[in-house]
Structure 1
Amino acid sequence: MQSQGLSINLATIREQCGFAQAVDICLQHGITAIAPWREQVAAIGLNEAANIVHSNELRLTGLCRGGFFPAASFDDRQKALDDNRRAIDEAATLGADCLVLVVGGLPGGSRNLDEARKMVADGISAVLPHARQANVPLAIEPLHPMYAADRSCVNTLGQALDICELVGEGAGVAVDAYHVWWDPDLAQQVARAGQMNAILAHHICDWLVPTAHMLTDRGMMGDGVIDLPGLRRMIEAAGFHGAQEVEIFSDNWWARPAQEVIATCVGRYQACC
């Protein structure tokens, strides 16, 4: 099957269609692995989304997202923990391979990245017992340093793995090509992740040159400068042989018909990954 080994993160066509239609389009292209976002699930209802997943025997390579642990006040940090526990329950209901964590950036008014990273580790530690009980691994996704202030103060695979070692069983990493391709220590850290059995997900897209917008101008595979086959070889050598999950935030691709986008994902996956 031409789509074997390919997963679609539903953010890739989030502007064109909702959960049910996105699943239908993926199935039409032979894709049986997806990764939805919580707001997409909420829009159709958790029970209905679970029915669609289970009746079509879909694999969820992840649920996006938990995280955003740092906050200026104790009450806001507690609210984040409560929301993460809800996200864990949603991932368990859907049968997701993992809950992806975008951990959050600096609390309002702060310039202290070390303190923010401590809040992240403390937050993950606090929700890990719930995740273990639900059998939902937590996948820390390091984000490119351009997001350090607002989206993620964990910016390298090495930093994410340090947290995994600190908090213990039940935490791993999501390796997103867009966020880690630049890292001079990438090969070493992927190998380390393999030794820890910590790779839970592998996300792909491409880095365009120039990049017009740091959030909504990701490239389709093959349109940019990332050595996607090289990264895949690295990850497989580390022992991860799961699906490659296409996750593209792009005003360009969101403006195109969803059928065209998914067909292009399949073709580029075969040609470039």
Structure 2
Amino acid sequence: MADLERLSFNQMTAGKASLREVMNACLQSGIQWIGPWRHAIAENPVQWGRDLREAGLRVSSLCRGGMFPAATSEERRKRIDDNLRAIDEAAALGTDLLVLVNGPAPGRDIQGARQMVADGIGAVVSHAEKCGVRLGIEPLHPMFAADRSVIVTMDQANSIAESFSPGTVGLVIDVYHVWWDPRVYDEISRAGERIFGFHVSDWIVPLPDTLMGRGLMGDGVIEIQRLRRAVEQAGYKGPIEVEIFNERLWSQSVSEIATQVAERFLKVV
């Protein structure tokens, strides 16, 4: 079912480890793709992009942009400016995908906040097109609606994306966030060419923590292979990014984590 050619190691799967440590662990484990976070590359994205390419690694995505909703127009403008910087960083790093985690409502008006997400994307999309960077809306599980994202279903993400060019705005599908959705396969088919990224981990029962409780693939209840088949049938052939927030996993060395990720990818994904 799987080989390592499409496996990407999201930086946060190694917790607080440095990007350099993650790079080295990927190379030792035969992992060819990497997904950095902005805090690790923002000082010099051009140099980081050069270092990654020279090491033989390709960048699957940069995380994260988004967080558009805010209580005041001034704060919303600042967040739009931050997303413009994130687009520049992605282009300098050498990836064509910026992952958007779209932020909570600043008050109780969750529908208004969803409109702020659509408006925020509209404010940056032309710059993204000029830079050759695609914007991937990542719907989060509904349990994150109050503190991380008002976009909590694939239907909502698809509806926003469809207002824009399919080559520029699409979806990042993370199985941890969408596996429960009774319409997940319909929405994957609907997304089609707008599927820009595919992230895997697992849902452990009982869930040890909402944010820090993701499991290695195979440790939980998600039909990962079925979801992979669905996104591939919809046309997605890009890297498959492993993104796991789990402090027990992070307590291990980066090389140990990378080895486990590669083994589980081959066995489960």
The alignment's TM-score, normalised by the length of structure 2, stands at 0.96
Amino acid at match of 2:198: H
Match for residue 211 of structure 1 among 203, 207, 214: 207
Q: 2:228: which partner in 1?
A: 232
Q: 1:32: which partner in 2?
A: 32
Q: 1:68: which partner in 2?
A: 67
CA distance in 2, matches of 1:233, 1:146: 26
Contact 1:50 1:93 in 2 (8 A): yes
SS at match of 2:148: coil
* Cα shift at 1:143: 0.2
The 5 A counterparts of 1:98-177 are: 98-107=97-106, 110-169=107-166, 170-177=168-175
How many residues end up aligned between the 2 structures?
Answer: 267
CA distance in 1, matches of 2:5, 2:165: 32
- Tell me if 1:89 matches 2:88: yes
* Cα shift at 1:54: 2.3
SS at match of 1:167: coil
Once the two structures are superposed, residues 68-104 of structure 1 have per-residue CA deviations (whole angstroms, 9 ceiling, x without a partner) of 0000001100000000000000000111130000011
Once the two structures are superposed, residues 141-182 of structure 1 have per-residue CA deviations (whole angstroms, 9 ceiling, x without a partner) of 000000111111001111101001123341000000000000
Once the two structures are superposed, residues 191-211 of structure 1 have per-residue CA deviations (whole angstroms, 9 ceiling, x without a partner) of 0111xx100000000001011
The alignment's TM-score, normalised by the length of structure 1, stands at 0.95
CA distance in 1, matches of 2:80, 2:6: 33
* Cα shift at 1:46: 2.2
Amino acid at match of 1:186: V
SS at match of 1:168: coil
SS at match of 1:31: coil
CA distance in 2, matches of 1:4, 1:134: 27
CA distance in 1, matches of 2:92, 2:159: 29
Contact 2:3 2:266 in 1 (8 A): yes
SS at match of 1:143: coil
- Structure 1, unmatched stretches of 5+, are none
Q: 2:8: which partner in 1?
A: 7
> CA 1:145–1:174 in structure 2 vs 1: closer, same or farther (change >3 Å)?
same
Contact 1:60 1:96 in 2 (8 A): yes
Percent identity between the two aligned chains: 45
SS at match of 1:166: coil
* Cα shift at 1:2: 4.9
Contact 2:201 2:242 in 1 (8 A): yes
* Cα shift at 1:48: 2.7
CA distance in 1, matches of 2:103, 2:153: 14
Contact 2:15 2:245 in 1 (8 A): no
CA distance in 2, matches of 1:89, 1:70: 21
- Tell me if 1:52 matches 2:76: no
Contact 1:121 1:167 in 2 (8 A): no
* Cα shift at 1:113: 1.1
SS at match of 2:214: coil
CA distance in 2, matches of 1:234, 1:99: 23
